[in-house]
Amino acid sequence: MEERRQFPIANAQPRGRRPLGCAAMLMIAAIAARAEASGFATARFSGEHSTAADGTPGAIYYNPAALSLLDGQHLMIDATIALRTASYRRAPDSIDPSTLDTAEQAGLDRQQAVDALAGESSLDNIVVLPFVGVVSDLGMAGSPVRVGAAFFIPFGGQSSWDEASASESFPGAQDGSARWYNIDGTIRSMAGAIGGSYRIDSLRLSFGVAGNLYFSDVDTLRARNANGTDDLVSADGSLLEGRSWLDVSGIHFGLGAGVLWEPLRDQLWVGASYQSQPGFGAMEMSGKLSNTLGSSQPAPPVDVVYSQELPDIVRLGVRGRPWPEVELRVAADWTLWSRMGQMCLAVEGVGDLEQACATRDDGSLVDSQHAADIVQVFQRRWDDGFGARLSGSYFFWGDALELYAGLGFDSNAIPDSTLDPALYDMDKYSFSLGATYRMSEHLALSLTLIEVLYLERDTRGQAGNEALELPSRQPANAGLYQQNTFLIQPAIQVSL
Amino acid sequence: MRGALVCGALLGPSSLSACVDPGDRYDAFLERTAEMRNRDSGMVEPTDRFDWSGRYLLALSTVLAPDQPLLFAVEAEVSSDLSLIDLQLQPLATDGDEEPRTAIGDSFGVNDIPYEMDGSFSADLGEVTVPGRANPITGSEIVASVQLSASTRAGDDDNADLFCGQVTGMVIQPLSYDLAGSTFGAVLTDDAQNAAPQLRCPR
């Protein structure tokens, strides 16, 4: 009977295998694999074993074919604790030219108006992203079939910008200079997945498929006024700055599929997978919009619909055991963030939302007859993201202890013109260290530490959303963007 | 300044947003700006009734964007016994339009408005539609229920006849907004193309 396989040390093969040849190792090094996520993709569960060639319960998302690497019953609980700091510095020349003149006409201090609109906003948040997954061979160790289920958060996050000092004349400034894009909020897709794999042992080839049910929500608060500028007051001193609170949600389905080939038994694994877009395209969500604009009295929430597209993802992974004590992994992903052309918010009952939301390059609606239906279009115009990661493990004490380290790069998906404080991205490098200690045949504990270094982005002086026509126009988003994230990733793994 | 936020995501999906509370900060903003939502509309001193029939340029200054008024050409007819008023309003294209202040869309009006002894009147215009080209704020069509509370002032050598006051009602489309606090002013003119809009009653 085949030796029982566990994870992640279960990825380790039995001792005494011959070392992988240099040519094979070069092949591994030449192929990319999983990386740190671009855009607001957040899947990092399974630590350095999150490639398309690793057999962990996380494979249900990274490559369901790799479920075939696990025998027995497995439970993994993993938490990615993200310690995130970020800042956004808005320059005075980003302020709409008419805004300061109007404040002066109203008899207010021009410099106070500048202070209310420019300067630095910062945040210092801790976010926890959980993963819970199970994999089973249904009690039939010799069976080619494996099944699994998991819950995780593959997209999104949440942020709460710090409050700032504000003058009595401009009370909105208390929410900081990033407030025209985000004050407090969540953009997130959680997923419940079930999947399975089938292994053709004679070919050392496995196939897998998983269905994901995405529970998505957008719950954000931002400053807004009626004409899409950053006007604070009217010429008679009336308040213009308002607030817009959007709370929508929806449920969508997606599919993942993959293949895993083991060219050298217990020594080399090559995996590839495809994860569909949640909803296979535009995701429509419904909910409420609470708008209080200008000096109007607060209005009751109205029913709205909202649409966005998330990316599909292609992953490649190669994992090799050149020596019994050593494992090397190379991974890459191609995340099609170019699907994220725009986000659109419309009143309920708009009919064909995609048609109504269609915009020209200047941000205006293709069909102006829908002008009364569309509340706001958020131009994104993102680019595809690419990532690559190299990592390795060393095993001690008969696989009881695994030490690992990794290095990754992930590209920025957001162009300068639409980068804003609500959704950040930069080119980034990540460095990880971690260990897994198998306390017994049934229990293993892991801890991974990951530092993600984001390269600063300076878009000051560049045209952005303020140059667009309504309903896409928003206050200038140019600024100096900085971010750093440190991830602490504890995990517990139970095998039966 | 807020401290670091810890979100108890492991406790379940519902708690993921427990420490991010947009509603809390939305309410906090409304609270600290509450006193700024009582906009003074201004009203002229009561006067005797008089016949102010004629053509007016009416500017409706909303609480959403007071400096960007909606413009209307108004035909006003005061009855010979000064007891009733007829008003007919025609939306005009915005000043930023290719054909500024030209008639856009259908006119609407109300007849037999009681004219009070102190020179004031209240008119319920009902549900009115303003085409997008007449909306200088967002350019989208507006549907709203509108009521006017006005006072009238006879002109003199320096000033034309005027009626002005408060606007109440609700914007129904594209989104619901309370118009309370909005103002309007209408000046007698034969040259609506060039007349200066009066956004409210003179202080």
DSSP A200-215: ETTTTEEEEEEEEEEE
Question: Given 3-state DSSP classes, what are the helix, strand and coil percentages for chain B, each rounded to the nearest 5?
Answer: 10, 40, 50
pLDDT at B8: 37
3-state secondary structure of A369: helix
- How close, in Å, is residue B51 to chain A by CA atoms? 31
Phi, psi of A147 (to 5 degrees): -130, 155
Assess B34–A contact: CB distance below 8 Å, yes or no. Answer: no
3-state secondary structure of A100: helix
- Answer for the pair A344, A373: CB distance below 8 angstroms, yes or no: no
Asked whether the beta carbons of residue B175 and residue A375 sit closer than 8 angstroms, the reply is yes
pLDDT at B42: 65
3-state secondary structure of A113: helix
Contacts of B7 in chain A (CB under 8 A): 125-128, 158
User: Is the pLDDT assigned to residue B166 strictly greater than 50?
Assistant: yes
Contacts of A240 in chain B (CB under 8 A): 65-66
- How close, in Å, is residue A226 to chain B by CA atoms? 6
Identify the burial level of B117 via C-beta atoms within 10 angstroms of its C-beta, where 0-12 means exposed, 13-18 middle and 19 or more buried.
exposed
pLDDT at A250: 98
What is the fold of A3-495?
Porin (2.40.160)
B contact test, residue of A84, A184, A357 with most B CBs within 10 A: A184
Q: Return the ∠ at Cα A29 (arms to A27 and A35), rounded to 5°.
A: 125
Question: Which residue, chain included where needed, has tokens 């398309």?
Answer: A52
Asked whether the beta carbons of residue B132 and residue A172 sit closer than 8 angstroms, the reply is no
Assess A238–B contact: CB distance below 8 Å, yes or no. Answer: yes
Domain boundaries, chain A: 3-495
How far is residue B108's CA from residue B128's CA, in Å, rounded to a whole number?
7
- Answer for the pair A67, A208: CB distance below 8 angstroms, yes or no: yes
Report the residue from B22, B138, B199 with minimal CB separation from A184: B22
Residues lower than pLDDT 70 in chain A: 1-36
Report the residue from A220, A245, A297 with minimal CB separation from B178: A297
> What's the first-to-final CA gap in chain A, in angstroms?
17
pLDDT at A7: 53
Task: Give me the half-sphere count of Cα atoms (radius 13 Å) on the Cβ side of residue B104.
Answer: 25
Contacts of A128 in chain B (CB under 8 A): 6-10
A contact test, residue of B35, B41, B104, B177 with most A CBs within 10 A: B177
Tens digit of each residue's pLDDT (9 = 90 or more) over A273-296: 999 999 999 999 999 999 999 888
User: Is the pLDDT assigned to residue B7 strictly greater than 70?
Assistant: no
List B residues 8-27 in contact with A (Cβ-Cβ < 8 A): 8-10, 13, 16-17, 19-26
Q: Work out the number of other CB atoms within 10 angstroms of the CB of residue A272.
A: 21
Phi, psi of A333 (to 5 degrees): -140, 155
Q: Work out the number of other CB atoms within 10 angstroms of the CB of residue B79.
A: 14
Sign of CA dihedral B197, B200, B202, B203: negative
Q: Least CA distance to B199: which residue of chain A? A: A236
- The answer for residues whose C-beta is within 8 angstroms of residue A42's C-beta and 6 or more apart is A80, A129, A153, A154, A155, A156, A157
List A residues 246-285 in contact with B (Cβ-Cβ < 8 A): 247
Structure tokens at B20: 């991010």
Rounded mean pLDDT of B90-112?
95
Taking CA atoms, A339 is separated from A77, A187, A310, A335, A379, in Å, by 31, 17, 6, 10, 12
Tens digit of each residue's pLDDT (9 = 90 or more) over A66-77: 999 999 999 999
List B residues 76-115 in contact with A (Cβ-Cβ < 8 A): none
Q: Least CA distance to A225: which residue of chain B? A: B64
Rounded mean pLDDT of B148-174?
90
pLDDT at A478: 96
- The answer for residues whose C-beta is within 8 angstroms of residue A22's C-beta and 6 or more apart is none
Assess A368–B contact: CB distance below 8 Å, yes or no. Answer: yes
Q: Return the ∠ at Cα A204 (arms to A199 and A210), rounded to 5°.
A: 35
What's the predicted TM-score (pTM) here?
A: 0.87
Asked whether the beta carbons of residue A299 and residue B177 sit closer than 8 angstroms, the reply is yes
**Percentage of residues of chain B with pLDDT beyond 90:** 63
Q: Least CA distance to A79: which residue of chain B? A: B10
Q: Least CA distance to A301: which residue of chain B? A: B176
Asked whether the beta carbons of residue B33 and residue A172 sit closer than 8 angstroms, the reply is yes
Report the residue from B23, B174, B179 with minimal CB separation from A373: B174
Do the interacting molecules here have an ipTM over 0.95? Answer: no
pLDDT at B39: 64
User: Is the pLDDT assigned to residue B6 strictly greater than 50?
Assistant: no
- Answer for the pair A275, A67: CB distance below 8 angstroms, yes or no: no
Q: Work out the number of other CB atoms within 10 angstroms of the CB of residue A397.
A: 9
DSSP letter, residue A56: S
pLDDT at A8: 54
Q: Least CA distance to B67: which residue of chain A? A: A234
How far is residue A338's CA from residue A384's CA, in Å, rounded to a whole number?
5
Identify the burial level of A437 via C-beta atoms within 10 angstroms of its C-beta, where 0-12 means exposed, 13-18 middle and 19 or more buried.
middle
> What's the first-to-final CA gap in chain B, in angstroms?
41
Which residues lie across from A271 on neighbouring strands? A260, A317
